[in-house]
Each structure stands twice: as structure tokens, then as C-alpha cells.
């Protein structure tokens, strides 16, 4: 095993534990994956807790997505493979959580499925772009992957209704930061819902899109 893979295994477990310890996902919920140097994947095993991932037991895939080592992977591999296939070099890691505020927002009426988060903060726009709300699928249903493929790589973040958010990033750290931004923005949205908050204007949003190269189409 290369030193870079050893480091990546440790980073996956460290970030996962940080998310777990702060209550962003509970029990054995959520999953995480990252690209290895040789084009393969390291993935959290099925039924595992983010609070107790073992670097040596992470599921290992080769560059053809054949499972070649470690424990049995999460049943939600279709989510991961769909993002990697459609986002290309823009997807170096994926984080999927069952975070409370994102799920709560996903089941409320009058949420725009093409852009479910209002522009409350600049960083919500910068780190996430538009966040798509996808319909409910039974956990592990391959159709989840089909729904993500239907976005044709145009979204780095989605929320599965009644389930939770999925975020892809160029690096594991970037994916985790974006995921935290999504959950915080969902929390702010719920806190201000019905209060007619002052949101960023369309001109301000477009200024962020131009300045920081945000995917917004």
C-alpha cells in the first residue's frame, strides 16, 4: 500500500469522526468515499459508524469499480459511482450524510427542486452552487444513481428527500466543507422560514458566480 493511500485512509476516518462527533450524522448512517492515486476508490463499509471507521477495513475498489479489498461497501454505491462518472475530475471525494436540517427542509412544501437553498450567505453560494432536491428513493435503490446521472454533472450537491444530502468535491476536505455549508444553510433557512428574510440579491449572487467560478447554470 502506498504512503498516499495510507494517508487518505486516515484522512477519511478523521473527517468522518469529526462529522459524527458534531452530530452531523448519527448511528450507522451516512457514507464517504475518495479517489485513490491509481484511480480506484476507498469507501466506508456498509453498516459502519462515522465515529468508528477503521482505516484498514475501508472498502477498496480498483479503477473499474471492482471491489478488491476491505469490508463490504455501503449499499449506496450507486450514488457515489454516478457522481464520479458524471463529474469527472471535479469529483475526488463524496460525502453523504443523514443530517437533520437538510432532511427537514427536504420534506417541506414550496421548496424549489432545482435550487432548494435560498441565497442566505455568500459561502452557501460559493461552495455549493445550486443544490438540487431529488425525490424519495428506497435506500440502496440503483435509481438514485440514475437520478444523479440525469443531472448530467451540473450539480455538485443534491439532497435526497426524506434521506439526506450528497456532496462531491475535488478533494475530501472540500467535499466535507461544502457538506457542512449545506447543513448550516439548511439550518438558517429553517430558522428564518416565514420571516421574509433579506436574501442576497440576484445581482449579488451573479457577482459571486463570476468572481469565484460558481457552477450556476
Catalytic residues: 123
CB 183 within 8 A of CB 124: no
Task: Indicate the DSSP class of residue 55.
Answer: G
Question: Helices 3-21 & 172-192, crossing angle to 10 degrees?
Answer: 20
In total, the chain counts a number of residues equal to 217
Q: How many angstroms separate the CA atoms of 127 and 181, rounded? A: 7
Q: How many angstroms separate the CA atoms of 213 and 40, rounded? A: 28
CB atoms within 10 A of CB 146: 12
Q: What is the CA radius of gyration of the chain?
A: 17
Cβ neighbours for 48, distance < 8 A, ≥ 6 positions apart: 28, 71, 74
Cell of 1: 500500500
CB 169 within 8 A of CB 92: yes
Quick one: which of 83, 70, 185 has its CA closest to 126? 185
Amino acid at each position: 500500500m502506498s504512503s498516499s493511500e495510507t494517508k487518505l485512509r486516515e484522512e477519511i476516518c478523521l473527517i468522518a469522526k469529526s462529522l459524527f462527533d458534531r452530530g452531523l450524522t448519527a448511528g450507522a448512517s451516512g457514507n464517504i468515499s475518495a479517489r485513490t492515486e491509481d484511480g480506484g476508490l476507498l469507501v466506508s463499509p456498509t453498516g459502519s459508524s462515522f465515529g468508528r471507521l477503521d482505516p484498514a477495513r475501508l472498502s477498496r475498489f480498483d479503477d473499474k469499480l471492482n471491489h478488491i479489498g476491505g469490508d463490504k461497501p455501503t449499499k449506496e454505491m450507486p450514488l457515489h459511482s454516478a457522481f464520479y462518472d458524471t463529474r469527472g475530475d471535479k469529483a475526488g471525494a463524496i460525502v453523504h450524510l443523514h443530517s437533520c436540517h437538510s432532511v427537514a427542509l427536504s420534506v417541506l412544501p414550496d421548496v424549489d427542486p432545482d435550487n432548494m437553498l435560498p441565497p442566505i450567505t455568500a459561502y452557501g453560494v460559493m461552495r455549493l452552487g445550486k443544490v438540487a432536491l431529488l425525490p424519495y428513493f428506497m435506500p440502496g435503490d440503483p435509481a438514485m444513481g440514475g437520478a444523479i446521472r440525469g443531472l448530467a454533472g451540473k450539480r455538485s450537491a443534491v439532497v435526497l428527500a426524506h434521506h439526506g444530502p450528497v456532496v462531491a468535491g475535488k478533494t475530501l476536505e472540500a467535499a466535507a466543507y461544502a457538506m457542512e455549508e449545506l447543513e448550516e444553510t439548511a439550518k438558517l433557512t429553517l430558522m428564518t422560514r416565514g420571516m421574509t428574510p433579506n436574501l442576497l440579491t440576484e445581482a449579488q449572487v451573479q457577482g459571486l458566480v463570476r468572481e469565484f467560478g460558481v457552477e450556476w447554470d
